[in-house]
């Protein structure tokens, strides 16, 4: 995965609370291989009716070029499905701004280059009001820790490890492989100290 530091794009408001991962991608799409992209599954049952017709009023149908979402608390709660992040990323979303995120979702997002930017609830409400049903230009600077949106400068709250990972596009498996010896040493010690941690033979 390649990292990124600065980004400019178009933000839209999705003024809903607790958009869970079942809504981000309904379970029935999850057996699909990633190859064809998951973008069309994003918020599928909010975007399309049961006959598959797009709801012209839904904000992401009106603004197909949107790449930053501003939304309410507890975004991405629920299931651990990384497919929810794939749907956002494949649609073209680069960042989500919300007061809070589901823990597993936030980790999955970082692992796929998607920024889960938390901002205060009052700031988010202000942005939602400013955006209304339209888009606005948004700039994000990870290194400076700042977001510029609808004429406002907002502090980007992001843990340093998450920021470093997004900027460098680090891949954890590569990072961890450098610690192979420490892992082997731990494993040997753990086996001596807690032998019962290894499963019996069933």
Partner 1 sequence: MSAPRTLFDKVWDGHVVLERPDGVALLWVDRHFVHEGSHHGFAKLAARGMALAQPELTFGVVDHYAPTRGGLAAAAPDIQRMVRTLETNAEAHGFRCFGLDDPRQGIVHVIGPEQGLTLPGLTINCGDSHTSTHGAFGALAFGIGATEVAHVLATQTIWQKRPKRMRITIEGVLGPGVSAKDMALCWIARLGADGAQGHAVEYAGAAVRNLSMEGRMTLCNLSIEGGARCGLVAPDQVTVDYLHGRPFAPAGPEFDRAAQVWMDLASDAQALFDREILLDAADIAPTVTWGTSPEEALPVTASVPDPAGLPQGRAERAREALDYMGLIPGQPLAGTPIDTVFIGSCTNARIEDLRAAAAVLSGRRAKVPGLVSPGSRKIKAQAEQEGLDRIFIEAGLEWAEPGCSMCVGMNGDIVGAGKRCASTTNRNFRGRQGRGARTHLMSPAMVAAAAVAGGLADVRPLLEGRA
Footprint of partner 1 (CB under 8 A):
15-18, 20, 22-23, 26-28, 30-31, 33-34, 45, 50, 72-74, 77-83, 85, 100, 102-104, 107-108, 111-112, 125, 159-161, 164, 172-173, 175-177, 179, 182-183, 186-187, 190, 194-202
CA 110 to chain centre: 7
Strand 6-14, strand 68-71: pairing = parallel
**Smallest distance, Å, CB 100 to partner 1?**
5
Nearer to partner 1 by Cβ, of 104 and 130: the residue is 104
**Smallest distance, Å, CB 23 to partner 1?**
6
Query: Which phi-psi region, left, alpha or beta, contains residue 88 (left: φ > 0; alpha: ψ -120 to 50)?
Result: alpha
Three-class DSSP category at 68: strand
Q: For the sheet containing 115-118, what is the strand order?
A: 115-118, 95-98, 68-71, 6-14, 136-141, 146-149, 152-155
**Smallest distance, Å, CB 137 to partner 1?**
26
Nearer to partner 1 by Cβ, of 151 and 187: the residue is 187
User: Cβ of 144: how many Cβ atoms within 10 Å?
Assistant: 11
Nearer to partner 1 by Cβ, of 69 and 98: the residue is 98
**Smallest distance, Å, CB 57 to partner 1?**
15
User: Cβ of 193: how many Cβ atoms within 10 Å?
Assistant: 8
Q: Which structure tokens are listed for 4?
A: 């990124």
**Smallest distance, Å, CB 139 to partner 1?**
26
Nearer to partner 1 by Cβ, of 33 and 151: the residue is 33
């Amino acid at each position: 995965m390649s990292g990124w530091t600065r980004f400019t794009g178009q933000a839209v408001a999705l003024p809903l609370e607790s958009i869970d991962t079942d809504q981000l991608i309904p379970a029935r799409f999850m057996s699909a291989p990633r190859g064809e992209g998951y973008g069309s599954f994003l918020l599928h049952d909010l975007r399309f009716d049961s006959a598959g017709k797009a709801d012209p009023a839904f904000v992401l149908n009106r603004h197909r070029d949107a790449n930053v979402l501003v939304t309410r608390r507890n975004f991405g709660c629920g299931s651990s499905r990384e497919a929810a992040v794939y749907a956002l990323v494949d649609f073209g979303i680069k960042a989500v701004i919300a007061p809070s995120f589901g823990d597993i979702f936030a980790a999955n997002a970082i692992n796929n280059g998607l920024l889960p930017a938390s901002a205060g609830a009052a700031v988010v409400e202000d942005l939602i009001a400013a955006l209304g049903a339209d888009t606005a230009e948004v700039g994000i600077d990870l290194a400076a820790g700042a977001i510029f949106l609808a004429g406002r400068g907002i502090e980007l709250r992001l843990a340093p490890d998450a920021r470093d990972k997004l900027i460098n596009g680090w891949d954890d498996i590569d990072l961890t492989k450098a610690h192979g010896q420490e892992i082997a040493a731990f494993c040997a010690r753990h086996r001596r100290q807690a032998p019962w941690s290894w499963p019996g033979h069933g």
